[in-house]
Amino acid sequence: MELLMNLENASILELKNWEQKLALQYREYQDDGLKLDLTRGKPGTEQLNLADEMEGLLKDKMISANGTDLRNYGGIDGISEARKLGGEMLGLPETEVICQDNSSLALMYLYMLHAFYHGSQGMDTAWAREGEVKFLTPVPGYDRHFGICEELGIRMVNVKMLDDGPDMDAVEDLVRNDKKIKGMWCVPKYSNPTGCIYSDQVVERIAALGKIAGPNFRVMWDNAYVMHDLFENPVKLENVMDFCRKHGTEHNLILTASTSKITCAGAGISFLGTSEKNLKHFRKRLEVMSIGPNKLNQQRHVLFLKNLEGVREHMNKHANILRPKFAMVREHLEEGLGGMGMGSWHNPEGGYFVSFDSIPGLAAEIIRLAGEAGVKLTPAGATFPYGNDPEDKNIRLAPTFPVVEDLDQAMKVFVTCVQLASVRARL
Ligand SMILES: Cc1ncc(COP(=O)(O)O)c(C=O)c1O
């Protein structure tokens, strides 16, 4: 009966009864001694197993088609075949892509350091020369982007994430009027955590920002989930570089992706794409840092994935594993919280997360309750710069890693905690 009740319409007496039942249920969960974790945005074991065949592919293939001995130093840009694959994923020609080691985050970090201290096109373009600079952060967003800015002392300015991407009216207004804004973080496809895909109009407006921004503006286009569709015929993300070429802003764009959540997380290959002019400057950092990337791993990936079609086929296998997990989260939310006025959520069609917004002021409390019942959730505020969710309402759920049975149990607890916190707040 109580599941059909709406928080707004319930009488005080009904709420009190409801609270008692929920508290009882909650204590039962506590007594179960659960140890579940919904914080980890990482592939599950079954997904990782899909890439096991990659091992062994290198036999007799350690000299590349052009005669390069891949076991030796050198080739700072990465091997041509891997750059081509990255280019297909990012929508760029091979000449505008470099392929490096395991992590796109490392490339983003290095690019930000490069732009900050050394200048994306030489010393006189370094952001550090301009005193305090700022970056736009669509929120909720990815905590590690925020970490990079925080470390460099780049002030983050929040803009609201809407269903079709960042609020572009606000973005354009800020960029036009504040020349200290040096860039913006974007996760254009299955954004972390809301799962939205930027619309064609948003992509073009972002591509055009370089025309109204101050000098040395860079859009950090983190396409981490470019291949991570859950369903067939996914919504298409427009090619942002095509728009940049149209607007003459191709130097304002830095694209990244990796195979971390395609093959092996932490043992994949990563890509950074940008104009050749930008690459020429960025290459100087790579050359100081390294005598060349792990070309054997790049070759292994190319032999395994082959081309864009090969990546798509492989990602279909991931999708078959992930669809039931996302469906389970959705069912629990709809059955346990639908129409009750206790929060809202997104039903993403790809990516790694489900973003839940509680009644304002309750996220930290829900996370505390879940934690004390043995279900670990991403800390409150993690999806906002400086760990500060001004409305204390966003909770990021990560359903990929737990096995289905654990996810089922964790979601039951989560729903109970949302109900309990919401009913108590209303009382
Ligand atoms: C938006 C986003 N970008 C980048 C990454 C990390 O990618 P990589 O493993 O290539 O560093 C993640 C990981 O969860 C992510 O969510």
Q: Which domains does the chain have, with CATH numbers?
A: 2-47+313-426 (3.90.1150.10), 58-306 (3.40.640.10)
Question: Which atom of ligand 1 is nearest the CA belonging to 266?
Answer: 9
CA distances from 367 to 37, 364, 379, 416, 426 (A): 12, 5, 7, 12, 18
383 CB less than 6 Å from ligand 1?
Answer: no
Residue nearest to atom 14 of ligand 1 (CA): 41
108 CB less than 6 Å from ligand 1?
Answer: no
195 CB less than 6 Å from ligand 1?
Answer: no
Question: Which atom of ligand 1 is nearest the CA belonging to 270?
Answer: 10
The tokens for 412 are 């039951």
Separation of CA 150 and ligand 1 centre (Å):
17
Q: Residues 36-89: pLDDT tens digits?
A: 999 989 999 999 999 999 999 999 999 999 999 999 999 999 999 999 999 999
Of residues 388 and 5, the one with the higher pLDDT is 388
Separation of CA 156 and ligand 1 centre (Å):
19
Question: Which atom of ligand 1 is nearest the CA belonging to 42?
Answer: 14
Identify the pLDDT of residue 6: 83
Separation of CA 159 and ligand 1 centre (Å):
21
Mutate to test the pocket of ligand 1, among 105, 137, 194 (most ligand atoms within 8 A of CB): 105
199 CB less than 6 Å from ligand 1?
Answer: no
Q: Is the pLDDT at 3 greater than 70, yes or no?
A: no
Going by pLDDT thresholds of 50, 70 and 90, the confidence category of residue 9 is confident
Separation of CA 338 and ligand 1 centre (Å):
31
Question: Which atom of ligand 1 is nearest the CA belonging to 222?
Answer: 3
Q: Residues 386-424: pLDDT tens digits?
A: 999 999 999 999 999 999 999 999 999 999 999 999 999
Question: Which atom of ligand 1 is nearest the CA belonging to 259?
Answer: 10
Separation of CA 207 and ligand 1 centre (Å):
22
47 CB less than 6 Å from ligand 1?
Answer: no
Q: Are 144 and 183 in contact (CB under 8 A)?
A: no
Separation of CA 224 and ligand 1 centre (Å):
6
105 CB less than 6 Å from ligand 1?
Answer: yes
To the question of pTM greater than 0.95 for the whole model, the response is yes
Identify the pLDDT of residue 353: 97
For residues 221-245, give the mean pLDDT. 97
Residue nearest to atom 12 of ligand 1 (CA): 224
Going by pLDDT thresholds of 50, 70 and 90, the confidence category of residue 1 is very low
270 CB less than 6 Å from ligand 1?
Answer: yes
